[in-house]
């Protein structure tokens, strides 16, 4: 999973605390990270832990990146690098 703004390297609890919308996206795909009491998984690792398949992972990645672009417009260089 390649996410903008280095969001993938944040633990899930930190990512959801700073961007609750990410939790909503994960909930919609029935990923229970918002209810997890540990919360130490990295956001980029969440997909592999839940074995969602490449199509679903791609949709989640796309939705999270679209949300991040709305919140914090990123330089085109960062976007190209994250999506490469």
Q: Is residue 14 part of a domain?
A: yes
pLDDT at residue 84 in the model: 46
Helix, strand, or coil here: 75?
Answer: coil
68 to 7, 31, 65: CA distances (angstroms): 9, 19, 5
pLDDT at residue 63 in the model: 95
Q: Is residue 44 part of a domain?
A: yes
pLDDT at residue 76 in the model: 43
Q: Is residue 84 part of a domain?
A: no
* C-beta of residue 43 within 8 angstroms of C-beta of residue 63: no
Helix, strand, or coil here: 13?
Answer: helix
**Which residue range is the domain that position 40 belongs to?**
4-78
Q: Is residue 23 part of a domain?
A: yes
What is the block-wise mean pLDDT of the chain (84 residues), using blocks of 10 residues? 86 90 92 77 81 87 92 55 48
- List for the chain the helix, strand, coil content (%; round to 5): 70, 0, 25
The gap from C-alpha 48 to its chain's centroid, in whole angstroms, comes to 12
Q: How many domains does the chain have?
A: 1
Q: Is residue 18 part of a domain?
A: yes
């Amino acid at each position: 999973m390649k996410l903008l703004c280095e969001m993938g390297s944040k633990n899930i609890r930190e990512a959801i605390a700073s961007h609750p919308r990410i939790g909503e996206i994960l909930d919609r795909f029935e990923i229970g990270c918002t209810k997890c009491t540990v919360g130490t998984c990295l956001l980029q690792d969440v997909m592999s832990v839940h074995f969602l398949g490449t199509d679903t992972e791609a949709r989640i990645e796309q939705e999270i990146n679209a949300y991040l672009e709305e919140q914090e417009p990123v330089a085109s260089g960062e976007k190209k690098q994250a999506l490469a």
